[in-house]
Amino acid sequence: VRLAASGGGLVQAGGSLRLSCAASTQTFSSYDMGWFRQALGKDDEFVAAINWSGGSTFYAESAKGRFTISRDNRKDTVYLDMSNLTPDDTAVYYCAAGTQMGVSPDDYDYWGRGTQVTVSS
């Protein structure tokens, strides 16, 4: 499974971005998906996860109410809609695929190239 995140960029505080993660696999709908981020000098941080069907989602406290994870299994793509961004959201965002919808990086088997999100104050 190959994953590639896109959609990052520079945005002002309070702004919004939509990240996409395209998967190159014919079995995308069998995977749970997660978004993680890593700020400079910090460890990976769980952001959000969605189960294989899209019927179940889970968010980090920092993401609740501001971020929405969704997926389109017809397009083999998972999304992360982010709003009301703050400078604390600045990080490289990664998508991951696995067979359990967990909050630990160890719960996922496949990782994609990240996309940089920078929020200016």
Span 53-95, pLDDT tens digits: 999 999 999 999 999 999 999 999 999 999 999 999 999 999 9
Residues 52 and 30: their CA atoms lie apart, in Å, by 5
Q: What is the mean pLDDT of residues 15-44?
A: 96
The whole-number pLDDT of residue 10 equals: 98
Predicted confidence (pLDDT) per residue in 98-108, tens digit: 998 999 999 99
User: How many angstroms separate the first and last alpha carbons of the chain?
Assistant: 37
Task: Tell me: pLDDT of 26 over 90.
Answer: no
pLDDT band at 2 (very low <50, low <70, confident <90, very high): very high
Beta carbons within 8 Å of 64's beta carbon, 6+ residues apart = none
Q: Kindly state the tokens that stand for 87.
A: 């400078």
